[in-house]
Amino acid sequence: MSPKREAVLPFAWNNDHLPQVVREDREKHKRISRLLDENPESLDRVHEDLRKPSQGGRQGRQADFTSETILRALLVHALQGLSLRETVILIAGSDFLQGFLRTRPPR
């Protein structure tokens, strides 16, 4: 069973030095992050949906990702219009997206 969320630092970045298209994309992710934080019932529903298939014996392994991380990764996947493989590669190479997923604290 995956935990619902991990406590991490808030999602904040200084984008002033970046090209406008990058700043706009990051602002979109920041708005989505704020909406998720302001509407925790969305995460509650996703967490319940993810909990159902993982209910089984008590001998299961510890989850690698929280429900929140999975939700945010799926949002990146949908927003970027990439394959799941390309989404994973994009996230792995982006400190910003890792911050959006809340897998690493922002700089």
Structural domain containing residue 41: 20-52+63-100
pLDDT in tens, 79-100: 999 999 999 999 999 999 999 9
Buried b / exposed e over 34-62, threshold 16 CB at 10 Å, is eebeeeeeebeebbeebeeeeeeeeeeee
Q: Let me know if residue 68 belongs to a domain.
A: yes
Q: Provide the token pair at 47.
A: 């967490």
Q: Let me know if residue 12 belongs to a domain.
A: no
pLDDT in tens, 24-46: 999 999 999 999 999 999 999 99
Q: Let me know if residue 57 belongs to a domain.
A: no
Counting the structural domains of the chain, the total is 1
Q: Let me know if residue 8 belongs to a domain.
A: no
